């Protein structure tokens, strides 16, 4: 008997075997189905999927045998992975110098063997798809071809499980990092809000203090400080709303009255009946109330901030079809130019527009709205005309 040598790239090969994390795993039907099929096609009693570890053959699937591993130094598969051919065949191991005296012949009557090396994309053989018989045998060309094809399928399954595992690990890491980022953003934002509030209060106090002796230039500087603080406050509020919005998606759906939903949005923005209209307010809908409310609040807030009409009007409408709830928010504000309408949902994009108070937006609000709508399996579109107003229409899946 001749013990199989180690491949020249054995260290690299073992590293790849360990990367797949298949050693010492439980049987799986996908692999067992293949070995059962191979045994039938090749008309043999034993069919195996093996992985060659440092000093053993681990049997990921073992049709016709009850063992789960065997020593590598007596394995037929150890010789098979050294070959360059697609399939390694031993018709009668008792007549082959490499196997004469091999204990597998006496213990398991391993007379016939055919193995297909399971190679990854870099050509490294992780193990084999192999068959054994208790008597000398020859495979037909059709049987050889089937064994080779199914060997590639085994390798595809290996790769699929590896990719799925790596994807799960990446998803878990991404969720953890996102949670850390959300916590960091919330913590920093809260820490910044207090000193900003102090700055805003101080500038207001300085401007309103009786008998102040500030020059016109000094007052201009104070105004600039106040505007900058307000702008930074808006950014911080936007960041907090954005990160908290993802928490809203965890809320369960519930049946609510549209009348109550629209009234809540109206109350938050201190709108009266003259400036607020809606339709179908007596209808009940089954939705994620927290998320939809946040979307409507953001859209109505934008509609008011960018509205220079003497009589601002906001209209909330609802309709539905077989698959979606359909909401729209219409205003009679300043409108958005056609060439800018595709850009409004991008993060930090404000189209260089100022609101009715002369302040530039943060470009976070509509990005947050788009993100929420998308995660509710819906979409949002904008129709707008300069000087006429805008309509934001969004859908959420039922």
Three-class SS of the chain: CCCCCCCCCHHHHHHHHHHHCCCCCCCCHHHHHHHHHHHHHHCCCEEEEEEECCCEEEEEEEECCCCCEEEHHHCHHHHHCCCCCCCEEECCHHHCCCCCCCHHHHHHCCCEEEEEEEECCCCCEEEEEEEEECCCCCCCHHHHHHHHHHHHHHHHHHHHHHHHHHHHHHHHHHHHHHHHHHHHHHHHHHHHHHHHHHHHHHHHHHHHCCCCCCCHHHHHHHHHHHHHHHHHHHHHHHHHHHHHHHHHCCCCCEEEEHHHHHHHHHHHCCCCHHHEEECCCCCEEEECHHHHHHHHHHHHHHHHHCCCCCCCCEEEEEEECCCEEEEEEEECCCCCCHHHCCCCCCCCCCCCCECCCCCECCCCHHHHHHHHHHHCCCCEEEEEECCCEEEEEEEEEC
What pLDDT was estimated at residue 45?
97
Tens-place pLDDT, residues 122-136 = 999 999 999 999 999
What average pLDDT is seen over the chain? 86
Domain coordinates of the chain in residue numbers?
10-169, 249-398
CATH of domain 249-398: 3.30.565.10
Tens-place pLDDT, residues 291-336 = 898 899 889 988 888 888 888 899 999 999 989 999 999 999 888 8
pLDDT at 279 over 90: no
As beta bridge partners, residue 52 has: 57
Cα-based distances in Å from 160 to 164, 166, 167, 342: 6, 10, 10, 38
What pLDDT was estimated at residue 105?
94
Stretch 346-369: mean pLDDT, rounded? 71
Higher per-residue confidence, 233 vs 310: 310
Segment of 141-155, 195-209, 270-284, 364-378 carrying the highest mean pLDDT: 141-155
The verdict on domain 10-169 having CATH code 3.20.20.70 is: no
Contacts of range 192-201, beta carbons closer than 8 Å, 24 or more positions apart: 192/232, 192/236, 193/233, 193/236, 196/229, 196/232, 196/233, 196/236, 197/233, 199/225, 199/226, 199/229, 200/226, 200/229, 200/230, 200/233
Tens-place pLDDT, residues 204-231 = 777 776 556 677 777 777 777 776 666 6
pLDDT at 350 over 70: no
Backbone phi and psi for residue 135, each to the nearest 5 degrees, phi listed first? -145, 160
d(CA 269, CA 319): 23
Contacts of 256 (CB under 8 A, 6+ apart): 284, 285, 287, 289
pLDDT at 46 over 80: yes
What pLDDT was estimated at residue 274?
63
What pLDDT was estimated at residue 354?
64
pLDDT at 351 over 70: no
Identify the weakest region by mean pLDDT among 32-46, 188-202, 250-264, 328-342: 188-202
How many CB atoms within 10 Å of residue 23? Answer: 15
How many CB atoms within 10 Å of residue 175? Answer: 10
Identify the weakest region by mean pLDDT among 6-15, 20-29, 237-246, 254-263: 237-246
Identify the weakest region by mean pLDDT among 76-85, 276-285, 367-376: 276-285
Higher per-residue confidence, 239 vs 304: 304
pLDDT at 174 over 70: yes
Share of the chain above pLDDT 70, in %: 84
What pLDDT was estimated at residue 47?
98
Tens-place pLDDT, residues 52-80 = 999 999 999 999 999 999 999 999 999 99
What pLDDT was estimated at residue 282?
77
Stretch 165-191: mean pLDDT, rounded? 76
* Opening angle at CA 394, ends 389 and 397, nearest 5: 170
The band of 156, judged by pLDDT with boundaries at 50, 70 and 90, is very high
| Among 100, 74, 95, 78, residue whose Cα is nearest residue 1 | 100
What pLDDT was estimated at residue 181?
67
pLDDT at 82 over 70: yes
Higher per-residue confidence, 381 vs 178: 381
As beta bridge partners, residue 327 has: 318, 394
Total residue length of the chain:
398
Segment of 42-51, 194-203, 245-254 carrying the highest mean pLDDT: 42-51
pLDDT at 271 over 90: no
Higher per-residue confidence, 142 vs 280: 142
């Amino acid at each position: 008997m001749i013990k199989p040598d180690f491949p020249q790239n054995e260290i690299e090969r073992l590293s790849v075997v360990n990367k797949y994390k298949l050693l010492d795993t439980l049987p799986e039907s996908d692999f067992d189905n293949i070995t059962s099929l191979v045994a039938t096609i090749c008309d043999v009693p034993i069919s195996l999927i093996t992985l060659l570890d440092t000093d053993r053959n681990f049997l990921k699937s073992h049709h016709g045998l009850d063992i789960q591993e065997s020593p590598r130094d007596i394995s037929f598969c150890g010789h098979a992975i050294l070959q360059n051919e697609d399939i390694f065949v031993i018709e009668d191991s008792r007549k082959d110098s490499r196997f004469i005296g091999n204990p597998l012949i006496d213990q398991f009557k391993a007379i016939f063997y055919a193995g297909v090396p399971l190679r990854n994309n870099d050509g490294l053989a992780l193990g084999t798809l192999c068959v054994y018989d208790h008597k000398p045998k020859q495979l037909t060309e059709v049987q050889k071809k089937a064994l080779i094809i199914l060997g590639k399928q085994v390798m595809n399954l290996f790769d699929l499980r590896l990719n799925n595992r790596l994807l799960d690990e990446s998803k878990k890491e991404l969720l953890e990092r996102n949670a850390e980022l959300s916590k960091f953003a919330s913590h920093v934002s809260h820490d910044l809000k207090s000193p900003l509030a102090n700055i805003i209060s101080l500038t207001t106090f300085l401007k309103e203090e009786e008998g102040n002796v500030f020059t016109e230039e000094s007052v201009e500087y104070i105004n600039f400080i106040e505007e900058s603080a307000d702008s930074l406050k808006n950014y911080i509020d936007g960041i907090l709303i954005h990160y908290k919005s993802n928490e809203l998606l965890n809320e369960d759906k519930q049946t609510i009255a549209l009348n109550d939903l629209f009234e809540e949005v109206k109350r938050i923005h201190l709108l009266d009946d003259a400036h607020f209209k809606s339709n179908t307010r007596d209808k009940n809908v089954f939705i994620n109330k927290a998320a939809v409310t946040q979307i409507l609040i953001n859209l109505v807030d934008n509609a008011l901030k960018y509205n220079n009409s003497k009589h601002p009007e906001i209209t909330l409408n609802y309709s539905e079809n077989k698959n979606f709830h359909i909401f729209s928010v219409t205003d009679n504000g300043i409108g958005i130019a056609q060439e800018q309408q595709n850009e409004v949902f991008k993060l930090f994009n404000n189209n260089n527009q100022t609101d009715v108070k002369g302040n530039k937006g943060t470009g976070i609000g509509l990005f947050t709205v788009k993100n929420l709508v998308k995660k509710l399996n819906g979409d949002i579109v904008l129709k707008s005309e300069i000087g006429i107003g805008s309509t934001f229409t969004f859908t959420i899946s039922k």
